[in-house]
Structure 1
Amino acid sequence: MSRTSAPPPPTGKSENKVDSALTHGLKQRHLSMIALGGVIGAGLFVGSGAGIAAAGPSIVVAYAISGLLVMLVMRMLGEMSAANPASGSFSVHAERAIGPWAGFTAGWAFWFLLCVAVGLEGIGAAKIMVGWFPDSPEWAWVALFMVVFCATNLAAVKNFGEFEFWFAALKVAAITLFLVIGILAILGVLPGSDADAPGMTNLTGDGGFLPNGVDGLIVGLLASVFAYGGLETVTIAAAESEHPVKGVASAVRTAMWRVAIFYVGSMAVVVTLLPWDDPNVVKAGPYVATLDHLGIPNAGEIMNVVVLIALLSAMNANIYGASRMATSLVARGQGPKAIGTISGGVPRVAVLLSSVFGFGCVLLSYWSPDTIFMWLLNMIGAIILVVWFFIAVSQLILRRRTEREAPEKLVVKMWLYPGLTWVALAGMAGVFVLMLRQEDTQKQLLATGILTLVLAAVGYARQRTRPADAAERA
């Protein structure tokens, strides 16, 4: 029988096999801090400025709405991942619930997203380094970061865990300190500051709470939705932890307060202390602008260090997540066999491939910034929403199946099932509609749609050539 016609092993057996081959080197402290710090990305420190400029003080509402959607998605994903921990996470769940084509589409779309993100984060980190060392070439810094984190992920999963533990600890410390300083300033009791408490001036003055109307709120909402991307990595990492079920359950149960404090809380502090139309909010970033406004010395350089840490943390996590997703897909017969080779408990070929692809995106940003690179950026624009859609549909199906076949596996349960799952799906549909209304996000939606349809068509075609496998899953 030819290689293309040979059916791959069933999802459950193949995924268990690859997960057992991976080294379970992540300790509970690693997973806890990855879950805690994973929500704090460079998008929060820098990208939120554009959202504030568009929505004004109502950015707090935008982050609260998108945060509720994220919490529902994470609860659904947590339910499935606690019942069936797997390094392929939602891709495995989609395959079990919907079919191999769905696992193929969700998995490779997410791999593509993470690899492009690795390149973008490398570029962002390099720009900060060039600011400190003006005579150094940007590409050399990207290459250095790629080599460091590729080597980290090639060595052992515990190295990834240690890097993320300390990166996350520094990010959490930075955002916590910012919140403390901000609250003291709002109360008018910040030591060393002569500034009076701002009261409601910045929230209700200068155009009001909705200075740019509902359209501004929509732009802020779209910006906030994509700032949450990356939370899914903790469910991928859980499969290589000492106690996968416990780790996933703990991470999901604390998601609500993490999102509320770090995102919604910090946005509330920024727009209370600063006028929303302060040009420095976009130019320097909302956190730097706020600290400068309060007279904190060297605020810009301090936040540059924090943003650099956030970018490097994201690079490390995305190389890890991409390599595990690719390995899981290959184990289920959804990709070239050579990519899934595991050596010493580490999928080294997948790590190398993901790193090389990411660096290739960086090179394209220099060689073809306005064509190919822009297409790459547009194609990842709405992939996170596609992934969330697969998560919600999978949870609708697998919850019923699990209740019938193995109810004891429901360690984490989705709230008010199935009602809130349908609410989440309606929310995702609403975001897609809002993207269609905005000119700058229409192209992203179109490019992401094309990529998703191509992957779905390839996945379905592969599924049709494996009737034996389909029968085995039935």
Structure 2
Amino acid sequence: MTNSSSAVSPPHAHSGPPRGLSNRHIQLIAIGGAIGTGLFMGSGRTISLAGPSVVFVYMVIGFFLYFMMRAMGELLLSNLHYKTFADFAADLIGPWAGFFVGWSYWFCWIVTAIAELVAITGYMQFWWPSVPLWLPTVVVLAVVFLLNAVSVKNFGEMEFWFALIKIVAILALIVTGVVMALTHFTSPDGHVAQIANLWNDGGWFPHGAMGVVAGFQIAVFAFVGVELVGTTAAEARDPRKTLPRAINSVPVRILIFYVGSLLAILVVMPWRAIDPEQSPFVAMFALAGLAGAASVVNFVVLTSAMSSSNSGVFSTSRMLFGLAAEGSAPRLFTGLNKVGVPVRALYVTALVLLLTIPVLYAGDSIIEAFTLITSVASLLFMFVWSMILVSYMRYRHKFPERHRSSEYKMPGGVVACIAVLLFFAFVVWALSLEPETETSLVALPVWLGLLGVAWVFVRRTESHRQAFAWFKKEMERPVENEHSEG
């Protein structure tokens, strides 16, 4: 379906991409979204800061984000015309909320995708040092763009296999750890693999309460993308079944993939013996005698980075489509190709991501710059998560009958929302304690301020008023067979 030429009837989110993602795709996308490269590469530093208590840190973050996911699930299923977070934020809070959420989420994934493309270049150089810096970026973008442009099913297939690789790697690590513990494996340094390693070197909290707080500063970044399953719901063939199933399994996935892998590492290697600058996955497999452990883990992290880039292209193109449908972005981004993919928004996303190339040649400070940028992105993700919770509270107030008839109610309701928002406030406080993350707290208000200035101009345009009036009308239209296969 192509975009209308009428000035008073712009396309809306309902006229969007077809539902081409199966249950298999949704379940693996949910898993992939819950497993970031931060687990593979950043968990060493988190362990050095928090010690064995890092296990509790990941459990606490997962616990609170589960309630955010449940709120998102009830909202998306309360009205199947909601295709993105920006949709229900605009409908329930107001057009400004849709504008802020949509553009913030778009920026989150643009920055994350650029960071991952830079990382991919680094991983490629691990094997082929002579490869030009620009080549991996161009190749990955071309592949991801072409596969996304053909059909949404291709995005689902890519994420399915990327997630499967991550799952196999983590399960292999857990099994290896269990075998090494049962056989009381002794490392060349004389460390014996045993459960007592979890508490026999300073206890569970060797650095006290502030060590645990420091763990939150880094660990929360590993969960970025956990909400991705919400952006795929619009293109799921049977969202009323697949979305609850994917969200309900989040706690189990966190226990297995995060807690399970970290416990395996800490049992085999005492926490003080773990190098914060090295991936503990590499160290673990190397101890087990796996030939080319660094290359194996490098491949896994490479696929994880490609998965994030793929998700970034998918998410930003859909969010740009939704923003255009609401009048918060140029209408040309509502154009769909013959198979229902927002190809114009896809083109813009790919072009913006080519900014990775000048960043690659920016100089020696590239790593420091990206530490700051990704910190800003993570704070923006927390902003989006918070707006999901605020939208839920507005939904409970505005449409109590929808909540009463909901088959997928959020446990804890408004009280749980407030508890999660307080937890996010705690994380922001934790980020203010370190200089490198404190700087990102200054950048966040600057971004929101720029959006505020842009909104002042956008809200005054006649095209926005017409588009939003159309959007509101469509949000109130009865849903007909939206949840059926097809």
CA contact (8 A) 1:210 1:216 kept: yes
Cα distance between partner residues in 1 of 2:320 and 2:457: 19
Q: CA, structure 1 residues 112+164, in 2 after alignment: closer, same or farther (shift >3 Å)?
A: same
Equivalent residue, structure 2, for 1:240: 235
Q: Identity over the aligned pairs, expressed in percent?
A: 31
The aligned residue for residue 447 of structure 2 is: 451
From 173, 178, 181, the counterpart of 1:183: 178
Shift in CA distance, 268/107, structure 1 to aligned 2, threshold 3 Å = same
| Partner Cα distance (1:316, 1:341) in 2 | 20
Q: How far, CA to CA, are the matches of 1:187 and 1:79 in structure 2?
A: 44
- Gaps of at least 5 residues in structure 2 are 1-5, 474-486
The 1:108–1:8 alpha-carbon spacing in structure 2 relative to 1, beyond 3 Å, is farther
Choose which of 323, 332, 337 in structure 2 pairs with 1:343: 337
Which residue number corresponds to residue 303 of structure 1? 297
Q: How does 1:173-252 map to 2 (within 5 A)?
A: 173-188=168-183, 198-252=193-247
Give the match's secondary structure for 1:346: coil
Q: Separation in 1 of the partners of 2:465 and 2:121?
A: 49
Query: 2:175 and 2:53 mapped to 1: Cα distance?
Result: 22
Alpha-carbon distance in structure 1 between the residues aligned to 2:268 and 2:149: 45
Give 1:94 deviation, angstroms: 1.1
- Which residue of structure 2 lines up, in the alignment, with residue 73 of structure 1? 68
The alignment partner of 2:354 has SS state of helix
Residue in 2 that maps onto 1:113: 108
Cα 1:125–1:85 shift into 2, 3 Å = farther
Distance 1:26 1:405 in 2: 26
Residue range with higher mean Cα deviation, 369-378 or 133-142: 369-378
CA 267–318 in structure 1, closer or farther in 2 if over 3 Å, else same: same
1:350-389 correspondence runs (5 A): 350-367=345-362, 370=365, 376-389=373-386
SS at match of 2:422: helix
Distance (Å, rounded) in 1 between the aligned partners of 2:308 and 2:240: 24
Query: Aligned partner of 1:150: which letter?
Result: F
Letter in 2 for 1:235: G
For the structure 1 residues 447 and 295, does the alpha-carbon distance in structure 2 shift closer, same or farther, using more than 3 Å as the test?
Answer: same
- More displaced 10-residue stretch of structure 1: 84-93 or 297-306: 84-93
With over 3 angstroms needed to count, the CA separation of the structure-2 counterparts of 1:87 and 1:123, relative to structure 1, is: farther
Closer, same or farther: CA 69–414 of 1 in aligned 2, 3 Å:
same
Partner of 1:431: 427
With the length of structure 1 as denominator, give the TM-score of the two structures.
0.89
**Structural RMSD (CA):** 2.8
Range that drifts further, 312-321 or 271-280: 271-280
The TM-score, its normalising length taken from structure 2, stands at 0.87
CA distance in 2, matches of 1:86, 1:51: 40
- Residue 3 of structure 1: aligned partner: none
Query: 2 CA distance for matches of 1:87 and 1:173?
Result: 34
Worse-matched range after superposition: 167-176 or 363-372: 363-372
SS in 2 for 1:414: coil
Structure 1 residues not aligned, in runs of 5+: 1-5
State the number of aligned residues.
461
Paired residues for 1:272-291 under 5 Å: 272-280=267-275, 282-291=276-285
Q: Deviations over 1:72-108 (max 9, x none)?
A: 1111111111223457421112111211111111111
Maintained 8 Å contact 1:83/1:245: no
Q: 1:31 to 1:86 in 2, by over 3 A?
A: farther
1:183 Cα offset (Å): 2.2
Partner of 2:309 in structure 1?
A: 315
